[in-house]
Every structure is written in structure tokens, then in C-alpha cells.
Amino acid sequence: MNNVPSQSPTNSEDTQRQRRGRRRWGLRRRILATFATGALFMAALLALTTYGLARSNVVQQREQTSIDTAKRNAQTVQASLRGPAATYQPALDALETYGVDQALIWYSGQWSPGSGRYVSTALPQGLVDRVIEDVVPARMIVQIGGEPHVIVGWPLANDAAYFEFFSLGEVADTLTSVRLSLIVAGTITIVLSVFAGILAARRAVRPVAEAARAAKSIAGGRLDTRLEPENDPDLGVLANSFNDMAAALEQRVERDARFASDVSHELRSPLMTLEASVEVIEGRRADMPERAQAAVDLLRSDVTRFRTLVEDLLEISRFDAGAVRLHLEELLVSQFVEQAIAVSSLPHTPLTSSARAQQMIITGDRRRLARVVANLIDNARIHGGSEARVSIEVPTHEGAAQQLVHIIVEDGGTGVPIDERHLVFERFARGGGAGRRSSNEGSGLGLALVAEHIRLHGGRVWVDDRRDGHSGAAFTIELPAEELEEA
Amino acid sequence: MPVGTRILSVEDDERIRQAVKLALEDEGWTVDEAGSGEEAIELFTRQPAEVVLIDIMLPGIDGFELCRTIRRTSDVPVVMVTARNDTHDIVAGLEAGADDYLTKPFAPKELSARIRALLRRTRPSSTPHARLALGDLELIPDEGKVTRSGEEIHLTKTEFRLLCELADNPGKVFSREALLDKVWGYDYFGDGRLVDVHVRRLRTKIEADPANPRHVVTVRGLGYRLQT
């Protein structure tokens, strides 16, 4: 129950903290705690009841036999006292023949001496009064020498009385072993129910765990993830509404992606006309007045830019729709990068690679990875002062499970400020205020596409400063690689 | 460059058709236009072109069907224009018999370069090969003829050129890149699917059992070779 009586309802922060505190007790733990507490309670109740019953039973039985024995012995004593003797001695002798020594006899105002602990002073006054004064048989449980005893007193004729001591030591022993076995049984019960609790908790939490897994999978981009339909009507509601939500989400994402794709698709036809027409005009550039030439140049460069934008937009919408399939093949990194640079916008970009890097093979989609290199070189051309250098390195991570290769593109621009480094891979994130807007060329999607392509290849890409101390950015692509086996 | 080579351009969007015609004529080609597949077939039977340019998305008879129809009677080089860089469209176009493809929007200069590469390889090879016999298969490069068990097999120009390149060095493994370069004139980043689909088509014509090729053999991870 949510008992926060002393707090005002407006103090929501505290309430929230309280709730958080409770939430830390997860469902599984709560089920377990319930099982454990229940088991503890039941075991204790059962043990106490059993013990109580056993105890009263055993003690009663012992008392009854004590009374019977004492009665029999008292009759023997009575018979002995009926004789000529005026002392209790013959009675004691008679008792001895039966092996009874834990007895006292009151006769003509005198106590028999008793033996050991069993002397007249050990008798409680109440019992003596009851038997001798009131002349009724009585019994009483007393501690003698730290051991419980039942003392049974029988009044006899001639103002005599017989008292016998019965040790309850055995009974106590019996009860101790009963107690022990109850404790053991109780402990076993609790342990078993904790196990049962763990199983029950796991069962109860399983659908929740599955839902969590499915949600995570959806968040990770696998929008077609669904929960298995449950037979249980309670859990069925969860599964059904989860699946409905997932379907709605998938539809929504697909619609958005399709829209972007449709838009760029529709733009292709007019672009085709533009492209061909500009080419025709360009062919007559030499015959044009100067102003028209300038206009044609502008037209040409913006048609190209427009085309890049549409192509990039289409490509990225394909990523969003999850429609990109890689055409994987093994590539020798150094050879591949060399070829990729040759077809890029700065084909004379210098390439250096370490001896080890030249032995590295990556598994990738050649044309997409070439696009990645081309985009990074475009970026260097546009934002990095048209200066680029590419190097291939093998990072030295001792004991790493997976070999890696780094393709690093460095430029001669102003670099990327630290707080913008994670932003440059966002869509349409043109190098912000730090003077990187040297030109409006580029689609604004180039680096976002780089990030998507590399992610699809199981790699990473990041940007930091040039390592030789000069101003400029260094874009690093990290890809899983393998070393070429020596033939 | 062969001035006046006839290109049949099949495209339903009139603006694109006009602009492409203007640009191609600037490059020195003679361009016939067709706005639909039906019109293209009629025009082609009346006056066969030397190259056909087909947009896949056509009303009525679509680009694939048009390509198959033309292929039934002619081995003329066909370039497909696809609207998207979609594997399905590209492979379907190549299987319908196209020799090469371009994705919209393309630069007409690039199209001209592709057409030139296609025509170059359909013209008689500059270094004629000797006759070559491979089991039941006989290759006669000078006549542009292939026979199986004495019977002539009809290959498109590109298929024939592909077979000739492989036969240039029987037993040697040719990578996809090498074949793209030699047959289509592409660089390192050409589309390997061009090679794969053409090899598949070639096999259906020259192999007794295309599923278990005995002549054009795939070498896993490396490319193709001609079994001697």
C-alpha cells in the first residue's frame, strides 16, 4: 500500500523517490519474498502446533503412567503399614524389593529419609498440604536438580501418605528430538518453497522479459519483431497490445520512409530532363555571351548538386526502410582504397599504408565502401581546404578478439570542434559556425551516409584532430578485418 | 566514332525523350523515338536500330517484355534505364536480355560512352582468334559463330564477346573486374551482377546442363574460367 500519510500530496518528488525505492524491489523479488514469507509463516505455525500437541501428549502419557505406578506402590506401602510395625521401615523394605527408591513416606508424623535429591524438603508445601491435610491424591510438576519431575502423592490410611518422584528427563529428551526434527523439516520446507518461488517468479516474469527483449529489438531497428501470441488470457492482452503497437510503429516508419523514397523518386524524371538539357546547353557554351556562360555554369553545378541530393536522399530512405542489402566480397584494403581514391573527386590524394595494413582483408560491399571513401574525400575537398591524405593502419590492441583496420582521411581545414564531433554525422548537419561553411556544395547527407554504410558493415566512424599537430580534421573508419594468410 | 548510328530511344515521358534526343544528337547519334513498347516494336520491325535504349517503366508492354520481344528476333545491343538502383529491377532487366543498364538520372555523355563500348564489342574483334574446339563446342571468332555438336548456337554480341574473352586464355581464371573491364569497359567499381547474369544466360545456351556447367565454370571467390 502506498502509505505516505505525513507527506503532502504536492511533494511529488518525495513520492516519486518513494516509488522508485519500491520499484527497486522487482516483480521477481516480490514474488520470491511472498513465497519465502508464506513458507516461513506456515512452517512456524505447523512446527509450533505439532510441538505443542506432541508435548502435551507425551507429558500426559508420562503423568498417567506415573499416577498408575504411584497408586500401585501406594497400595503396597499401605499393605506394609497395616502390619504390626509402627514405623515406615517395613514399607520401605517392601518398596525396595520392587526397586522403588525415589519415594517418601509420611507416617505417624515422621518422614522417611528418602535418597539423594529425593528428600522431604524437595516436596512443595502445597502438595504436602493437599495430600496430608485435605487427604486427596495429587500430583505436581517441579524442577529438582534442574530436571523436571512429576511428584505424585497418595494419602494412606492412619494419617499416612505416600509420595513418589518420577523424572521427566526422558520426556524432555524426546521433546528435544521432536523439536530438532521439526526445525529441520521447517528449514527444508522453506528452502523448497524458495525454489518454488524462484521458478514461479521466473515463469511470471518470462512474458515481461520477452516483451522487454522484443521492445529492445524494435528499438534496434528490427521493426518486424512480434511477440508470440499467449494462450493465457491475462498475458494475451499484453502480447496483443504490444503487437498492435509494433505494427502501428512499423507502418508509420514505413510510411515515412516510403514518402522520402517516393519524393526522391518523383524528382528523378524532371532531373533527367534537366540533366540532358543542361548538357545540350553546355555543348554550346563557347557560342554564348559571358553572362550566359556564368549562368550556365551555375545551372550545371546546381543540377549536379541537386542530383547528388536526390540520390543521397533516396539512398538514405532505403536505409530507413531497411531495404539495403550488402553485396559482400573479400577486398584487399590497400588495393581497394587506392581504386576508390582514383575515382573520387580528388584522385591524386596521397595514400600511405603500413606494411601490416597491406596484408589486411575486409569483407564488404565494394561499391558502398567506395562511396564512403568518396564521400569523406568530398568532405575534405569541401570543408577541408581541398587537401586530403589517406592512411591505412592496423590498430594495435593486444589480445583483441577481432582484428581491425583503420582507414583515416585527414584534411587541411579548421577541424571539427569537440562539441560538434558527434553532430557531423547527423543528416543535414553542415559544419556549423566554426567557419566550415566554405561552400554550399554537397548534399548534407554525405557523412550521414558514411555513418549508415559503416554501421551496416559492423564498423565505426568518428572524427578527431589531425595527429601531426596541423589544423585539420581526421575521419577514421574502423572495420573488422582479417590478415591475409601467407601462402 | 560511327556518325549516324541509329539509336531507338523508348521512353514514355515526352520531356525526357526530347531532352535525351537533343543531347544524344549532339553526340553525333541518329535518334528514333518511341513513346510505348508497342510503338517501339512497330518501329523496330520497320527499320531496325543499331542500339536500343529502353526505360523499364512503360505503359502497356513494359521494358522487360519489350526487351524479350526484341531479343527473339535480334541480337542488337540493349541498354536498360532503371528508375532505381534496385537489384531486382537490374537483374530482371539483364535476364530479359539487356546488355547494360543505367540508373535515372544519368548524364547523356555517360550513356554515349556506354553505347560506344557496346558497339565496339559488337564489331569484329581487332585480334581475330583461331578456331577453338572445346568438347562438343566450337568457337569461330572470325565468323562470330559458335556451334555445339555442329549446330549453330545463337548468342547476343555481348555473350559472344564474353565467351571470346574467356576463350582467349582457356583454363585461366578471370575475375569479375577483369571481365567488366574487357567486355563492358568498366573500371574496378563496375557492377559484378552484369557479369553474373551474362554468364548465366550464356550457360543456358552453351551448356548441356546449365545447373552443372562443364564449359564456363565458377571459381569460388575468384571469378570464372573456361574449362578445357
How much is the pLDDT for B141?
76
Per-position DSSP letters for B37-58, written without gaps between them: HHHHHHHHHHS--SEEEEES--
Which of B189, B219, B220 is best to mutate for the A interface (most A CBs within 10 A)?
Answer: B189
B13: contact with A, CB 8 A cutoff: yes
Q: Looking at chain B from residue 103 to 122, which residues have their Cβ under 8 Å from any Cβ of chain A?
A: 104-109
CA B27/CA B14 separation, integer angstroms: 20
Strand A328-332 vs strand A160-167: parallel, antiparallel, or unpaired? unpaired
- The verdict on a CB contact (< 8 Å) between B108 and A275 is yes
C-alpha cell at A182: 521439526
* pLDDT tens digits for range B205-218: 888 888 888 889 99
Give which of A63, A64, A163, A62 is closest to A122, Cα–Cα: A163
Which of A268, A276, A307 minimises the CB distance to B108? A276
Closest chain B residue to A370, measured at CA: B189
Q: Is the dihedral of CA A351, A357, A359, A362 positive or negative?
A: negative
pLDDT digits (tens, 9 = 90+) for B21-54: 999 999 999 999 999 999 999 999 998 899 999 9
- The answer to whether A446 and A386 have CB atoms below 8 angstroms apart is no
Q: Which of residues 190-219 of B touch A (CB under 8 A)?
A: 191-193
Q: For residue range B188-199, what is the model confidence (pLDDT) as tens digits?
A: 777 888 899 999
| pLDDT for the residue A290 | 94
Q: What pLDDT does A85 receive?
A: 59
> Chain A contacts of B109, Cβ < 8 Å?
279
Nearest CB among B13, B26, B189 relative to A283 is that of B26
Is residue A461 a contact partner of residue A426, using CB atoms and an 8 Å limit? Answer: no
- Are B105 and A339 a contacting pair at CB < 8 A? no
- What digits encode the pLDDT tens for the residues B102-132? 988 899 999 999 998 888 765 545 555 677 7
Residues in chain A whose beta carbon is closer than 8 A to a beta carbon of chain B?
265, 268-277, 279-280, 283, 307, 310, 314, 325, 327, 329-330, 339-340, 342-343, 366-367, 370
| CB–CB contact B188 A280 (8 Å) | no
Q: Residue B127 is placed in which grid cell?
A: 585480334
Amino acid identity for residue A198 in this structure: I
Cross-chain residue pair B104–A268, CB shorter than 8 Å:
yes
Backbone angles phi, psi at A22, to 5 degrees: -70, -35
Q: Which of A275, A325, A340 sits opposite B107 (nearest CB)?
A: A275
Task: Kindly report the nearest CA distance between residue A327 and chain B, in angstroms.
Answer: 9
Q: CA B11, B16, B18, B19: dihedral to nearest 10 degrees? A: -140
Asked if B7 and B50 touch (Cβ cutoff 8 Å), the reply is yes
What is the structure's pLDDT at B18?
Answer: 95
Tens digits of pLDDT across chain A (487 residues): 444 444 444 445 455 555 555 556 777 888 888 888 988 898 899 989 999 998 888 888 888 988 898 888 888 888 877 766 567 777 788 888 877 878 888 887 788 887 777 888 888 888 888 888 888 888 888 888 888 888 999 888 877 888 888 888 888 888 889 889 999 998 998 899 889 888 888 887 887 788 888 888 888 878 888 888 777 777 788 888 888 988 998 888 888 877 877 887 788 889 999 999 999 999 999 999 999 999 999 999 999 988 888 888 888 888 877 777 888 888 889 989 999 999 888 999 999 998 888 889 999 988 889 999 999 999 898 888 888 999 999 987 766 677 899 999 999 888 888 888 888 888 887 555 444 444 556 678 889 999 999 999 999 999 999 888 888 899 999 999 988 775 5
DSSP A13-65: HHHHHHHHHHHTS-HHHHHHHHHHHHHHHHHHHHHHHHHHHHHHHHHHHHHHH
Closest by Cα among B30, B50, B34 to B42: B34
Mean pLDDT of B5-30: 93
| pLDDT of res. B35 | 92
The pLDDT, as a whole number, for residue B20 is 94
| Minimal CA separation from B20 to chain A, in Å | 6
Note whether A339 contacts B221, CB cutoff 8 Å: no
ipTM: 0.85
CA-based nearest distance A283→chain B, Å? 8
Q: Phi and psi at residue A111, in whole multiples of 5°?
A: -95, 140
More confident residue, A80 or B183: B183
Burial of residue A375 (CB within 10 Å: 0-12, 13-18, 19+) is buried
Indicate yes or no: CB of B221 within 8 angstroms of CB of A330. Answer: yes
In degrees rounded to 5, what are phi and psi of residue B25? -65, -35
